[in-house]
Structure 1
């Protein structure tokens, strides 16, 4: 079982590094925030360079990557960092939905964290000496709490872009 968990972790890290579109687009949604916009705002919205709009804090920086379907994936950087660390539980995706006139910020659950959390109790029942593993769900909860705040900052950065790139009352000179 330990080998299967390690393999799952390695597969997940590989998919994160390769920016696999299906990986960022599937999974259990832990965070889903919708930002309503007008059609004019959507036509003017650019999500490139969004990492520069985020506040600089003590945590690993978030990196963004455009996916082939037009959405933008984001995750924590794997670059060396000497600030705070937490177990990354989510990967994110920004989806522009022109039909619903909204931008969605989605945070999906890590496969490894989900599987390990589900298996903690059965592992402890089979091997009582593994009781220290009960700290894993607590560590995951703390990481989720930190990451939820960080994803909220992505939502605020997207909201700021929506508001600032096409201010109300602005007439597009190209019309």
Structure 2
């Protein structure tokens, strides 16, 4: 069972690192925010360079990547840095829906975190010495709260792009 969890974690890391489109389009949705936009706004909307519109935080930067279907995937950057780290519970996708005239910011659950949470009780029942692992859901909850706040900042940055405003463009910029 431990080898299966390790294999799942490695597969997920490889798909995150390689920006595999099917990985960013599937999974359990934990965060889903809709931003209404007019047809004219959507016609002029560009999501390129969105990471520069986000405020600088103590956490690792978010990385964005265009997918072949026209949506944009995002996740925490793998770049080394001095910022804080937490367990990334979600990976995200920005979807422009011209028919519904909206942009959706979607956060999907990490496969490894979901599998570990589901298997936690059987693991502890089979191996009582693994009881410290019961702290994992608390760590996942803390990571989720941090990431939900960060995804809300992505929503605000996309909302500003839809309205053609850039409130954070020059805030917190290195001088």
- TM-score, scaled to structure 2: 0.93
- Considering only CA atoms, is the larger Rg found in Structure 1 or Structure 2? 1
Q: How many residues align?
A: 165
TM-score computed with the length of structure 1 as normaliser: 0.93
Q: Deviations over 1:85-117 (max 9, x none)?
A: 100010000000000000000000000000000
Q: 1:4 is matched with which residue? A: 4
1:136 is aligned to: 136
Q: CA RMSD in A?
A: 0.7
Counterpart in 2 of 1:116?
116
User: In structure 2, how many angstroms separate the alpha carbons of the residues matched to 1:157 and 1:39?
Assistant: 19
1:131-162 C-alpha deviation (Å, 9 max, x unpaired): 10001000000000000000000000000011
The answer to whether structure 1 residue 77 and structure 2 residue 65 are counterparts is no
Provide the C-alpha distance between the structure 1 equivalents of 2:137 and 2:73, rounded to a whole number of angstroms: 26
Look up the SS of the partner of 2:164 in the other structure: helix
> How far 1:129 moved relative to its partner?
1.2
Name the SS of the counterpart of 2:75 in structure 1.
strand
| Partner SS state of residue 164, structure 1 | coil
* Residue in structure 2 matched with residue 151 of structure 1 by the alignment: 151
Unaligned stretches of 5+ residues in structure 1: 166-175
- Show structure 1 runs of 4+ deviating over 3 A: none
